[in-house]
Amino acid sequence: MTDALSLNKEQHMTTKKAFVTQVHKNGITFAGRTDTNHWVMMDGPEEFGGKDSGIRPKEMLLLALAGCTGSDVASILAKKRIALDSFDIEITAQQTDEHPKVYESMHIEYIFRGKGIAVKDVERAIELSQTKYCGVTIMFEKAMKITHSYRIEE
């Protein structure tokens, strides 16, 4: 039995859709939306036929990872009543130089600012995100190495 068939029997599957339309004829500027009906602009540099008017499609993968794990961690810490003055995430990705240019690894750095933030609470929130809740991390781990670190600043 294949993994896909096993997944169908073990979990309910939901279909998600995306729609993308070319904005400039013969160019690489695209507008896209998903089921939530929020639009994003994607584009490339002018030397490749773009207008440099939007984020690169592959860069959205970095934002997807940061947004997914960040939402998990922020939610978990809020439920534990951990007060943060600010919370940032920096993603560093290593990309191959030859086509197809793909990410081979990504590193997530979580940066927490506030007073009295307990290391154990931060570590547990990150662990739960990385191993249970963040579907982007779990998908990406099938294709590349994902690592993480964190800093707590008072």
CATH number at residue 67: 3.30.300.20
- Residue 83 is predicted with a pLDDT of 93
Does pLDDT of 5 surpass 70? no
Q: Are residues 41 and 64 in the same domain?
A: no
Same domain, 14 and 90: no
- 12 & 43 share domain: yes
Query: What is this structure's pTM?
Result: 0.88
Predicted confidence band at 7 (pLDDT cuts at 50, 70, 90)? Answer: low
Residue 26 has pLDDT above 90, yes or no: no
Q: What is the mean pLDDT of residues 13-37?
A: 95
Q: Is the pLDDT of residue 3 over 80?
A: no
Q: Within this chain, do residues 80 and 129 fall inside the same structural domain, yes or no? A: yes
Residue 96 within any structural domain of the chain: yes
Mean pLDDT, residues 17-26 taken together: 93
Distances in whole angstroms, Cα of residue 27 to Cα of each of 61, 95, 104, 127: 22, 25, 28, 42
In a domain, 30, yes or no: yes
Give pLDDT tens digits for 94-131. Answer: 999 999 999 999 999 999 999 999 999 999 999 999 99
Whether the pLDDT of residue 6 is over 70: the answer is no
Rounded to the nearest integer, the mean pLDDT of the chain is 93
At CB < 8 A and 24+ separation, what contacts does 118-121 make? 118/82, 119/152, 121/77, 121/80, 121/82
One domain, residues 43 and 63: no
Mean pLDDT across 64-88: 97
| Contact indicator for 115, 72 with CB cutoff of 8 Å | no
The yes-or-no verdict on residue 61 having pLDDT over 90 is: yes
Q: Are residues 21 and 68 in the same domain?
A: no
Task: Say what the pLDDT of residue 25 is.
Answer: 87
Residues 71 and 141 in one domain: yes
Is 77 part of any domain? yes
In a domain, 118, yes or no: yes
**Residues 143 and 70 occupy one common structural domain:** yes
Report how many domains make up the chain.
2
Give 11 or 110, the one with higher predicted confidence: 110
Whether 53 is in a domain gets the answer no
Residue 68 belongs to a domain: yes
43 burial via Cβ count (<10 Å: 0-12, 13-18, 19+): buried
Q: 1 falls in which pLDDT band (50, 70, 90)?
A: very low
Range of the domain at 20: 3-48
In this structure, are 135 and 86 located in the same domain? yes
Q: Determine, yes or no, domain membership for 78.
A: yes
Residue 54 lies in a domain: no
Please indicate, yes or no, whether residues 42 and 14 belong to a single structural domain of this protein: yes
